[in-house]
Amino acid sequence: MKIAQIGELILRTPAQAVSQAEFNQPSLIKFSEELLATMLEANGIGIAAPQVFDPRAMMFIASRPNVRYPDAPLMDPLLLINPTIVAQSDNKVWEWEGCLSVPGLRGNILRPDWVDVKYQNQQGDKLQQRFEGFVARIFLHEFDHLIGLTWLDHITDTNQIMANDVWIKTLEQEQTTQTCR
């Protein structure tokens, strides 16, 4: 699937709830599989349906260590349908984020360090879960896509933006410095 890029209207449009009639249907299952495959092919750790031009409130989060996030926890991909935020931490943390829809840039974004979420799975079962740390950040980043936002909307100073290549170089230098200690 093609990934929407910043400036495309779908990224500014709030997502629509998946209807009860869609749950457990072959079309929803097929779309979920394609959404996951698109995220993995792009080496992403999360993706929301609007990023592939689908207006439904669906997302995957899938934390795993990689070049961009070497300390990320490993988790199986999790599909969240019609997610809502129940509660979130008052404590907020700054971290660098990237986005498949904003290629080449990273942003230093302030987000809560945990979030409680209600959502549905493919069968329509209602679930609730707390996400903490980096996984909470991934969820909140993807949730932004469902409400018509991107990480760029959280920027208050241009010093919070860095080219992805520069960010990776900085990260590699930090890791080398830590290894030499």
Domain positions in the chain are: 9-180
H-state helical runs in 71-163: 133-146
Q: Please confirm, yes or no, whether 33 is among the known catalytic residues.
A: no
CATH fold for the domain made of 9-180: Peptide Deformylase (3.90.45)
Check whether 22 has a pLDDT greater than 90.
yes
Mean pLDDT value across residues 117-135:
97
Which residue numbers belong to the known binding site for Fe cation? 99, 141, 145
Catalytic residue among 33, 34, 95, 142: 142
Mean pLDDT value across residues 98-127:
96
Long-range CB contacts for residues 123-128, cutoff 8 Å, separation at least 24: 123/23, 123/24, 124/20, 124/23, 124/24, 128/86
Q: Are 107 and 135 in contact (CB under 8 A)?
A: no
Choice between 29 and 70, residue whose per-residue pLDDT is larger = 29
E runs forming strands in 7-101: 46-48, 58-61, 78-88, 92-99
Mean pLDDT value across residues 29-38:
97
For residue 171, what pLDDT is reported?
78
Mean pLDDT value across residues 75-104:
96
57-to-75, 81, 122, 145, 176 alpha-carbon distances in Å: 21, 6, 12, 9, 41
For residue 114, what pLDDT is reported?
98
For residue 180, what pLDDT is reported?
63
Which residue numbers belong to the known binding site? 99, 141, 145
Is the pTM here over 0.85, yes or no? yes
For residue 124, what pLDDT is reported?
96
Q: Tokens for 15?
A: 């997502």
